[in-house]
Structure 1
């Protein structure tokens, strides 16, 4: 049976109690202190009524208290529901209701018992439950095609497999990993537990957005050795200050297609850094495959997504769900230790996406991504098989944004898609058909911001008379007109 996150952490804390587990600004927390502090708060959660299997929302900015809260929730036998403090209240409320959250840690939310993480303390007398690798560790919400987000159930064993003896990155107790991703984005799973379960140090970036101009100083002053960035941030950092990567031994990127010219630019400027392209939907716990780009590797038009993680299997299948030979295009299915339990309270969707292989009876997650495996075993990503796309690492179902747009009284129909700005950035654009003479774009943007996280609010709005339709009656996204990026009316 796989170890739980809590057992794996306790083993690390016992082995190197005085090593630094967390640092933020000038504050440091040792492994022993983090173990005791999280024990104390876990006891407070139990005293407040948290029981094994409960869901506890964690709504905190990056800080040592955030990590204490996550660890304490797991020690109490519960699962954490990470919430971005910047998300609209209506969306947060919907998520917490759906998850059946019992308690909120951090930010006060009306209608819920809210606990603050206690100051550092060594005294804990609470009896904490035994936690197994098969227990639920977290629920993470992703965009849903029906207009409401869906939640992925990730177990302890999924996390411990991700970071135990990883075959895609070397993590030692001497390493320092920057915690930069929002906690509601599963890259944070790698950043936090990848460090803590390997005896390394989690360095917490300051709360809020870290600009590309600031990242180099942050990395150098904290002697960061391992960094994860979304593809968009990776590209922007190379454009703004490629020297920021000096001093790292590994930079991992993913969440979208990596640009070959940017990878080449980084390899020329900082040849000693190992570049890893990571691929994996939330349903497969951060990464399913990774590609360690060779120092002399000749990259073609795209960067491969690589080979499976330890204890993971990937299969390319035909439309009827049968494995195809190497070199043949098909849908990418992921099996093995990274595959999550399924969707929270969505048995129909779980049955549709988590399936058994007809050839071996094993369980797989159907990614909906088109791929092919080369003869050397390396997998190449070829795009989505549906309309879903990723932007800045976040998955976006067009239907969810389009439903929200058409709920505005001045919008009759809408479509969204990603277009490349002249600066090279990929941006979300909405094409809208008015229901009357007027369209107040400022009101429309405010309407979306009231229910959507910022990454799902379009950067620009294009008014069209009708949406182009394909022969089978679907919106023809490829035929939508290119935005006029120079027009002020696009943005307001």
Structure 2
């Protein structure tokens, strides 16, 4: 029977003391039914049970009949008389809502019309199972004996619990319980909707039991009954498809626990009302903890000490491949030792911060390891960052020495020695002998700078032992070992590189260093993966999406990859459908890992399967061995499973501090009031599941407020991505007038791969989202721009075009653009070739088919008319558009051009001549 059919019925059970004259009842029913033509043919059904009326099975039978809805095509009333062995009976009446079942149960009369139902609310915290659609369930609310049946108390307790869950109206917790209850509105009678959970308070009717609806009108309904002695009993009736039984049980217990505290002490401030009992608090804390795995001794050691151990065990095995360079573990160890000696020769003392500003090559890995061998901490810097950021990083870290070539670094680094890797190793011969160094896993290993809310990056100081613990936590589960081949794909200034480098070298694998230009070209990168036999691949979801497209054109068995680790940004699992169509999840494991720089790269791990793609979930798995998770409200109080709040991370991965920022350190790295040691307040929003797994729900600061409505931007993005023709999406909050909240608007950007246009996407969003969440504009872009770390670069998105309003939203077709004359990957877009010659090239002559084809390709990619004098990046091009143009050229049979040559010839005229020369 459908849920709507059950929701259209209500029922009443009336206890009838014996002896019961069934014929008299039958006659009364006939008389009552005679006033309605649609009740012609009504009969009294009878059933005899060999049980006394007070037996639990008798009560269960009556309740079961009372919960059985009417057939859609049947009469609007069903009457059943249950005879019991002691002579008593229960009359069970089930009726549609147009018939009233109150007062005299046989006084059949029309009921007042019900107000029209609004949109059905969704319980984010309910974690229901869609497979249970159509089912209803109930459980008792464990109210303490003697609790008053005051409607203000009962509804107030439910409202406070929902507010703590972050799912109901906010409550001022500074007030006393009595003040809070006094301010509750008078109970209006009927069902009170508190945001997906209804509350109904009714007076008991001796000898009667009523179900206002056979299926709750909301995901859950608290049905309280005030007994004649003034106390209350309660039931929670709910839909398991929307409210999981274990979550429902805990919610009912929380309502009872809160009601008991408020009733016991009316003067109690609400912020001292406990949601959880001590026993549940202990259970929740344990739920988020995964015990350490592996060798506890190794998990407390230094990175360089662990590497030396691998080098002694496998001296001749290849440790590093970078282009034509190949180094064994012994050779890499020796070169790193010379680097350390060179630092000593420069007077760099153990514990110092040493900058490393190198391109991705063999020298980068040698230098990082050398810095650690010198007892120092490395501070990686990406040479494509602006000079101001590089200058700030060096100064904030207090680095007196920077290992680099000088290229790309600011020229005015006063008091800082810039030394090349070769020069540093040449100093080794005159260096003082290294003293005996005791491994100290608590010493800083590196400082990586991340974005700061003040506009200045903040340096995260991470100890050696954190990295050692990360490797021990994953080694066995991921089967990391000497047969593996990893890539160093990411910038050393992005903490994903920590996992790539040391995850490989501390488990005896071979590390393939991927040069910058290959990372920007999915074709070249895919070829490298095949050529090098890479088995362990680490990618941001945005970067992997490009690789998936490239892989679809290659033989399915070309790759040797057995493990793909996602990190750096949220993963929309739906993008993996094409990958799973070609690669078995049993042969190549895909692992979604949530992590933060401040908690040492990774915190959780969840193996993604095709079933996850179908479900479209946001699960990132339980904590890694040695890590801990909890979800807490804005006051730092523990939240139960299902309720969303801020993710707190504890355990082996928690970093030491923010460098030189004690106040910020104290705000974010806090002592756990629950006794869990130091924990990090992540600023990420999530919820724990009853099995200890975490759902990542985006950043807390991606939740915006528009005209009174709290909106999660990631939610809108996911709706856009659910359109079959949307390949990528981003959402941002803009203001028509800066700083004026009244002009706030949400703008959406999509990349399209099918016939649909922005208007179709907007219509799709309007069909899924409430009106206040529908984007004000949908702008089609050729690609969602990415930062150098592979994340969505919201700053590089274009302003929404000045399109005309389309049924409540603007639909545009603007191309993604450059920012201040710079492509989104940091490459200059000033119309000058990298060799310093002016851009432009000879203009194409009339009737030039090659020029026409290329100009047409560029115009299509940029959504703009392109002439031979135009520069690709000045017209809004970026790295992803470069990849798209090159792919379309190949598909049209034009000569292959590398991404590097594209950037060197970024004006249309020069590019046409480059292609012409390649063809000839």
1:315–1:40: structure 2 CA closer, same or farther, 3 Å change rule?
same
Provide the rounded CA distance (Å) in 2 between the counterparts of 1:418 and 1:38.
50
Shift of 1:196: 0.7
CA contact (8 A) 2:800 2:814 kept: no
Shift of 1:78: 1.0
Matching residue within 448, 461, 465 for 2:799: 461
User: Partner residue of 1:177?
Assistant: 486
Matching residue within 326, 349, 352 for 2:641: 326
Shift of 1:130: 3.7
User: Partner residue of 1:278?
Assistant: 593
Shift of 1:150: 0.9
Provide the rounded CA distance (Å) in 2 between the counterparts of 1:66 and 1:126.
24
- SS state of the match for residue 90, structure 1? helix
User: Partner residue of 1:38?
Assistant: 336
Q: Larger % of helix: which?
A: 2
User: Partner residue of 1:53?
Assistant: 351
Shift of 1:413: 6.7
Which deviates further from its counterpart, 212-221 or 38-47?
212-221
Provide the rounded CA distance (Å) in 2 between the counterparts of 1:99 and 1:232.
31
User: Partner residue of 1:200?
Assistant: 509
Matching residue within 26, 40, 63 for 2:361: 63
User: Partner residue of 1:117?
Assistant: 421
Matching residue within 661, 671, 692 for 1:346: 661
Shift of 1:116: 1.3
Provide the rounded CA distance (Å) in 1 between the counterparts of 2:600 and 2:459.
13
1:413–1:97: structure 2 CA closer, same or farther, 3 Å change rule?
farther
User: Partner residue of 1:248?
Assistant: 561
Shift of 1:299: 4.6
Shift of 1:21: 0.7
Shift of 1:164: 2.2
1:190 corresponds to 2:499: yes
CA contact (8 A) 2:344 2:432 kept: no
CA contact (8 A) 2:574 2:614 kept: no
1:313–1:113: structure 2 CA closer, same or farther, 3 Å change rule?
same
Provide the rounded CA distance (Å) in 1 between the counterparts of 2:580 and 2:469.
30
Relative contact order higher in (CA < 8 Å, ≥ 6 apart): 1
Shift of 1:178: 0.6
Provide the rounded CA distance (Å) in 1 between the counterparts of 2:354 and 2:745.
33
Shift of 1:257: 2.1
Provide the rounded CA distance (Å) in 2 between the counterparts of 1:418 and 1:7.
51
CA contact (8 A) 1:63 1:207 kept: no
Matching residue within 540, 544, 561 for 1:230: 540
1:264 corresponds to 2:572: no
CA contact (8 A) 2:541 2:569 kept: yes
User: Partner residue of 1:430?
Assistant: none
The 5 A counterparts of 1:360-399 are: 360-387=675-702
Provide the rounded CA distance (Å) in 1 between the counterparts of 2:362 and 2:321.
7
Bigger Cα Rg = 2
1:126–1:252: structure 2 CA closer, same or farther, 3 Å change rule?
same
- Provide, for residues 213-232 of structure 1, a one-character-per-residue CA deviation record: whole Å limited to 9, x for no partner: 22221101001000001110
The 5 A counterparts of 1:69-148 are: 69-108=367-406, 109=409, 110=411, 111=413, 112-118=416-422, 126-128=433-435, 129-148=437-456
- SS state of the match for residue 287, structure 1? coil
Q: Which runs of 5+ in 1 are unaligned?
A: 392-397, 403-410, 425-448, 465-478
CA contact (8 A) 2:747 2:800 kept: no
CA contact (8 A) 1:326 1:373 kept: yes
1:483–1:188: structure 2 CA closer, same or farther, 3 Å change rule?
farther
Shift of 1:48: 0.5
1:210–1:319: structure 2 CA closer, same or farther, 3 Å change rule?
same
TM-score by length of 2: 0.44
CA contact (8 A) 2:484 2:510 kept: yes
Matching residue within 592, 602, 612 for 1:287: 602
Q: Which runs of 5+ in 2 are unaligned?
A: 1-296, 704-712, 718-731, 754-786, 803-807, 816-862, 865-873, 878-920
Figure out how many residues of one structure are paired with residues of the other and give that number: 435
Q: Larger % of strand: which?
A: 1
